[in-house]
Amino acid sequence: MKSIDNKFLKILANRPDLISNFPKWMLSKATVNEIRKTENVAIAEIAGRDSVASVIRASEMRPIKAIIPTIAYTGTEHGTWMEPFEKIEILKYKLQLNNIKVYEPVVLGSPKFWWTLCGRYVAHFFKAYGFYSHCVGCHLYFHAIRIPIARKLNCNLVIGGERESHDGRIKINQTGFALNTYISFLKKFDIELFLPLRDVKSGKEVESVIGFVWDEGEQQLECVLSKNYQSIDGSVLFSEDAIKRYFDEFALKKAEEFINRQITKHNS
């Protein structure tokens, strides 16, 4: 497996605001023009097992001709950054069998935007809603951060790997309500968030899509705030009403303002 280009490593070490104006070595003007002229191109969110399987499943369900793999950072990750790059190589191998082109990866992120959505106002959220978890805003962040590049490339399809049930376990950032919220948010910008694994409950079924054994949570980056909504015994504690208020009263407005600024900046 080839190593990560040092230019990628420098970005991942510094984690600057990198949202739509990418360096030419990562996304050249020629590549941008090529993608804009190609029909049925999808942006893929690359993270863990489910995201990889979702790209494979999406290519079976839609007439996709090319994939732009994207790796987003927040500032809370730990582990080896080699993992998502290795999985992109697997996707290249599998999808080329069906004549689907997989472009070189794009790395993007805005820790400041993540901080605004998820970190800065934690005390306020607990006081106002009586419950709060970073995970809900974090997944909104992951979807929203890809809107400017989708607009830049004239791409109206983003593939995500969320599932409502994980072998019976609930993740509050992937409840039906949360997923519908993410989908509706991207729709405001004329982008479809496609979740081909949404109704897949079994991890074994996810593995069957990929074609090899891959335990959930393994071979991927981890988050220092993972499972912050679980009690000591592992049970899930959350308030859907609090999450709804967090979205409606704060997060969706902040995210829309931020993304509109980025789009305006790019077009100016």
Q: How far is CA 245 from CA 98, 108, 113, 132, 187, in A?
A: 44, 28, 19, 10, 20
pLDDT at 5 over 60: yes
Q: At what angle do helices 134-144 and 176-187 cross, to 10 degrees?
A: 30
Query: Is 14 contained in some domain?
Result: no
> At 95, phi and psi to the nearest 5?
-80, -25
Query: Is 84 contained in some domain?
Result: yes
Question: Total structural domains in the chain?
Answer: 1
Contact 98, 62 (CB under 8 A): no
Domain span including residue 116: 36-267
Provide mean pLDDT across the span 243-258.
96
| Distance separating alpha carbons of residues 228 and 34, to the nearest angstrom | 42
Query: Is 61 contained in some domain?
Result: yes
Which residues have CB under 8 Å from 42's CB, separation 6+? 55, 58, 62, 64, 66, 67, 68, 155, 157, 158, 159, 194
Query: What pLDDT, on the 0 to 100 scale, is given for residue 214?
Result: 65
Query: Is 123 contained in some domain?
Result: yes
Average pLDDT, the chain: 90
Of the listed ranges 123-137, 179-193, 224-238, the least confidently predicted one is 224-238
Query: Is 67 contained in some domain?
Result: yes
Query: Is 205 contained in some domain?
Result: yes
pLDDT in tens, 215-232: 665 667 888 888 888 888
Query: Is 17 contained in some domain?
Result: no
| Distance separating alpha carbons of residues 188 and 132, to the nearest angstrom | 25
Does the reported pTM lie above 0.85?
A: yes
Task: Indicate which CATH number applies to the domain containing 139.
Answer: 3.40.50.620
pLDDT in tens, 52-96: 999 999 999 999 999 999 999 998 999 989 999 998 998 998 998
pLDDT at 175 over 80: yes
Q: At what angle do helices 82-96 and 49-61 cross, to 10 degrees?
A: 20
Query: Is 26 contained in some domain?
Result: no
Q: At what angle do helices 252-267 and 134-144 cross, to 10 degrees?
A: 20
| Distance separating alpha carbons of residues 163 and 146, to the nearest angstrom | 19
